[in-house]
Amino acid sequence: METVEKIKSQIAENPIILYMKGSPKLPSCGFSAQASQMLVNCGEAFAYVDILQNPDIRAELPKYANWPTFPQLWVEGELIGGCDIILEMARTGELQSLVTETAAKYKEQEAE
């Protein structure tokens, strides 16, 4: 599968996905650590892709997203942003609302 197709598939299949360096338990950079911690604090499950283990995605995603840096948070197929945006949204409560509402919506669909 072509890398861009793989990215599109990951984004489509995961309502909340974080492209980061490392994993939420073992982040490999400070920005990824902060971003993943803010998501963990929301208390809902989210998917992640370790771009250090996926150099093809690391190379292609910035072009696809038109966003040069990592981490990148995607919710329902839409790029939300990177670490600074995630931290600001967490500070205002917007991140909690977005994550909670999105997770609830997909739990309802699974239950049907």
pLDDT digits (tens), the chain, 112 positions: 699 999 999 999 999 999 999 999 999 999 999 999 999 999 999 999 999 999 999 999 999 999 999 999 999 999 999 999 999 999 999 999 999 999 999 888 777 7
The Cα angle at residue 45 between residues 25 and 109, in degrees rounded to 5: 165
Would you call the peptide bond into 27 cis, given omega within 30 degrees of 0 as the criterion?
A: no
Structure confidence at residue 13 (pLDDT): 96
- CATH code of domain 3-111: 3.40.30.10
Domain-wise residue ranges, the chain: 3-111
Integer Cα distance of 90 and 27 in angstroms: 19
Q: Which bin fits 14, alpha (ψ -120 to 50), beta or left (φ > 0)?
A: beta
Structure confidence at residue 31 (pLDDT): 98
Q: Which residue numbers belong to the known binding site?
A: 21, 29, 58, 70, 83-84
Instruction: Mark 15-30 as b/e (b = at least 16 C-beta within 10 Å).
Output: bbbbbbbbbbeebeee
pTM: 0.95
Structure confidence at residue 49 (pLDDT): 98
Structure confidence at residue 107 (pLDDT): 85
Q: Which residue numbers belong to the known binding site for glutathione?
A: 21, 58, 70, 83-84
Integer Cα distance of 52 and 36 in angstroms: 15
Structure confidence at residue 108 (pLDDT): 80
Structure confidence at residue 1 (pLDDT): 67
Q: Which residue numbers belong to the known binding site for [2Fe-2S] cluster?
A: 29
